[in-house]
Structure 1
């Protein structure tokens, strides 16, 4: 997950709430790819756990779909919205 780069960007004020259409936000992308530490860092920095992307829904849906069980558990522990509606 390029954790050191993520930490550097966060320390320089990177906007973790920025969204795009494909993955929703950086948290969604990290969840799709299975980058546990990056997901942790983004959650700690206040990333929107329910941001919707076009490809695989929110971070919880993306992690579930791609079989990343530890990330699913982490997101559930942070009260991910498991009833989020897809458009």
Structure 2
């Protein structure tokens, strides 16, 4: 398992479009990918779960990946968050 804490930089947080971009990018990975925010766990492959988390700009989240391609998944997740989720 790998995990990393990161701050969300997207101006609008993980609203519909960025949440969709993120979940679609995570879906091809076979490992389990979770986001922890405010002591709750969210499935990072589910756009509805991500939107329900109400993650705003400046929020610190923890991304956890567990499985055979966990390193690749983590690298992609961090790249997306640091890049502002193309928004």
TM-score, structure 1 normalization: 0.29
Q: Which has a greater percent of helix?
A: 1
TM-score, structure 2 normalization: 0.29
Identify which of structures 1 and 2 has the higher relative contact order when contacts are C-alpha pairs closer than 8 Å and 6+ apart: 2
